[in-house]
Structure 1
């Protein structure tokens, strides 16, 4: 069984958006504001640099009980002793990832529509990232926006925990939660905010209010 995790407010990092403030400072502010889980996503970083970033984040987050998830890179997650991995549809299969990760790490999978869900190997998956809910500029291969209705369509198919992701702002939160999501995953709404701590606090309050 994987360790417990809370999807209420899922921060996904973006290296371009946190460059001025710094990765650690941004994440630190976000968790002070209420982020419940953090994913390190940096598609431009090579293995060694990514491992170093992951270890620094792990040192920050572990004492707070906040899980650290690594985007795509199972090897980096193991090397940095991260808490889990989030896979896209074109990454290693969840079954293969689970073999490498073992039973205790958290494993997430991106799903964009019911057909993708039906075609996915979900045997080792602990949660789903569903989207993009809205058009997003932070992930070039994210696909077309599915709206809150797209989240509801996936919710109807599974009892797995899920988060809505993709271009989400505070105004979108209620619709996503009412569509059946357990939480929201955000990039720009926190990473590009002038005050990431307050942005996180506002987003988390919106999730809780919509439940």
Structure 2
């Protein structure tokens, strides 16, 4: 994985879009516009299950491969291995980091962290990148922790200058500048793209902000 892959990390599942059938269209538009990584995250109310769940994941993966964008699966290690995904992202309530690393081998491993101890554990088990947040208040995850601002992000960057870090949580075109200034290699967004009326413009704006702060 290259650090620049984290620059604009799009996360999506069917519960994040107004109408389920729009999901692939939104992903296609985001890929065309230039997202740099995609995470398949099918969680929340009224999610797909069984065969429909896997078929949707495969559709997303196919689109990502067409644009040479890494395809990451949230939490579901078994699905990621069946699909031959590029990687897995886990949170603190999912599979333990060490277990996940052993099971996925050399796949990309991303880990959500909220403290120095969690950060060190992720590093100890060779996480390829960490996700820090929610930076700002978010409505995309019903179980999200309270917003933490950029202080922990700044600490993590200072202590681990070579560690790839992506920030997540309530990030939009107005506040992304502060996140990049705090040391993030990239930003992970859900609603900023899923609810955008002009995905191409939104993606272009985010990527411009990243370039300005490099």
TM-score, normalised to structure 2's length?
Answer: 0.89
Q: Deviations over 1:77-118 (max 9, x none)?
A: 111221111000011122211222121x11100012334324
Q: Distance in 2 between matches of 1:209 and 1:121?
A: 29
Partner of 1:77: 80
Which has the larger displacement, 183-192 or 149-158?
Answer: 149-158
Question: Gaps spanning 5+ residues in structure 1: where?
Answer: none
Backbone CA RMSD of aligned residues:
1.8
Which has the larger displacement, 145-154 or 61-70?
Answer: 145-154
Partner of 1:46: 49
Per-residue deviation at 1:47? 4.6
Partner of 2:16: 17
User: Where in structure 2 are the equivalents of 1:180-191 lying within 5 Å?
Assistant: 180-191=183-194
Given that 2:73 and 2:87 are in contact with CA atoms closer than 8 Å, whether structure 1 keeps it comes out as: yes
- May I ask how many residue pairs the two structures share in their alignment? 208
Question: Which residue, 196, 207, 211 being the options, matches 2:210?
Answer: 207
Q: Distance in 1 between matches of 2:132 and 2:62?
A: 29
Per-residue deviation at 1:173? 1.4
Q: Distance in 1 between matches of 2:204 and 2:164?
A: 22
Partner of 1:36: 36
Q: Distance in 2 between matches of 1:149 and 1:121?
A: 19
Per-residue deviation at 1:31? 1.5
Question: Gaps spanning 5+ residues in structure 2: where?
Answer: none
Q: Distance in 2 between matches of 1:17 and 1:167?
A: 14
> In the alignment, does 2:94 pair up with 1:95?
no
User: Where in structure 2 are the equivalents of 1:152-167 lying within 5 Å?
Assistant: 152-158=154-160, 159-167=162-170
Partner SS for 1:82: coil
Q: Distance in 2 between matches of 1:203 and 1:195?
A: 13
Q: Distance in 2 between matches of 1:173 and 1:52?
A: 33
> In the alignment, does 2:175 pair up with 1:172?
yes
Partner SS for 1:110: strand
Moved over 3 A (4+): 118-122
Per-residue deviation at 1:39? 0.4
Q: Distance in 1 between matches of 2:91 and 2:26?
A: 24
